[in-house]
Amino acid sequence: MTVQMAFQQLQTQLRLCYSEREATNIAHLVFEHLTGWSRTERIIHKAVVLTTNQQFQLQRYTQELLQHRPLQYVLSEAWFAGKPFYVQEGVLIPRPETDELVAWILETVLPQPTAALEVGVGSGCISIALKLQWLQASIKALDISDKALSIARKNAELYKADIDFVHMDFLNESLWPQLPLFQVIVSNPPYITEAEKASMHPNVLQYEPEVALFVPNETPLLFYEKIAKFGKMHLTNKGYIFVEINEAYGEATKQVFLKAGYQQVILKQDAQGKDRMLLAQLL
């Protein structure tokens, strides 16, 4: 089967589960991963016959995609900050708004900090992206999930990013004295309420880790309240907190930090115009 024929076949099959635009985009990403060729190169090589191994891989990818398994898990790869990261079930798939959060941190925190903390490391994409820019910074990254920490360490090794990964339940305040002071604290914590599940896509609900996504309806701001409290004890003077937030709770999240005593609290919208990021600073 030629590259062109296989691409068209995949595109047709994906339309059973996805819109025409989504099916086309996914098919292009699959074939870029499968062949190593860009769209233009695949046009040039459209008559090239796929190898037996490539056909086997494509069959497996197709089956998994038709079961709504996220493309990033199918390919074991997600792009973040211009780089591919290894991902599998057990860690959140990096989102564009998280990429925007990292860009905001890097343009705001000048000069480079000496010590930073990430609460909830997932694939390690945030800590690694920061470390690659903050070469002299000591970065510590916490997570309650052993699998997430294992995947994050694999990505850190790939990019030779020296990060101290720690297994810790951040909600357990009795563990906080183990941690030092930081100039920057960053987190993309669980912030989706159980009530919001009904509106979510099946590939998120069935495959991405619930512990990294959901909070009880009764305590939607649980992690922000803990981070604000932690920061009062573990931030240096003029230290920063950066968090990704639930767009439905932008103002409420801002009030959490203001009531905790942070003098500067800024809400920032993402590229879609949604309240998605927050900066809090102790002055």
pLDDT tens for each residue of the chain, 283 residues long: 999 999 999 999 999 988 999 999 999 999 999 999 999 999 999 999 999 999 999 999 999 999 999 999 999 999 999 999 999 998 999 999 999 999 999 999 999 999 999 999 999 999 999 999 999 999 999 999 999 999 999 999 999 999 999 999 999 999 999 999 999 999 999 877 766 766 667 666 667 677 666 777 778 899 999 999 999 999 999 999 999 999 999 999 999 999 999 999 999 999 999 999 999 998 8
- Which pLDDT does position 191 carry in this prediction? 77
Contact 193, 217 (CB under 8 A): yes
Tell me which residue of 109, 100, 69 sits closest to 201, measured CA to CA.
69
- In this structure, what DSSP letter does residue 70 have? -
- Which pLDDT does position 197 carry in this prediction? 65
49-57 long-range contacts (CB < 8 A, ≥24 apart) are: 49/1, 49/2, 49/3, 50/1, 50/2, 50/3, 50/6, 55/1, 55/6
- Which pLDDT does position 283 carry in this prediction? 85
158: CB partners within 8 A, 6+ apart: 86
Four-point Cα dihedral 104, 108, 113, 118, nearest 10: -30
- Which pLDDT does position 212 carry in this prediction? 67
Taking CA atoms, 262 is separated from 105, 184, 228, 280, in Å, by 17, 14, 8, 6
Q: Is 158 helix (H, G, I), strand (E, B) or coil?
A: helix
- In this structure, what DSSP letter does residue 94 have? P
Q: What is the CA radius of gyration of the chain?
A: 21
Contact 225, 254 (CB under 8 A): no
- Which pLDDT does position 218 carry in this prediction? 79
Question: What span, in angstroms and rounded, lies between the C-alpha atoms of 143 and 167?
Answer: 5
- Which pLDDT does position 198 carry in this prediction? 62
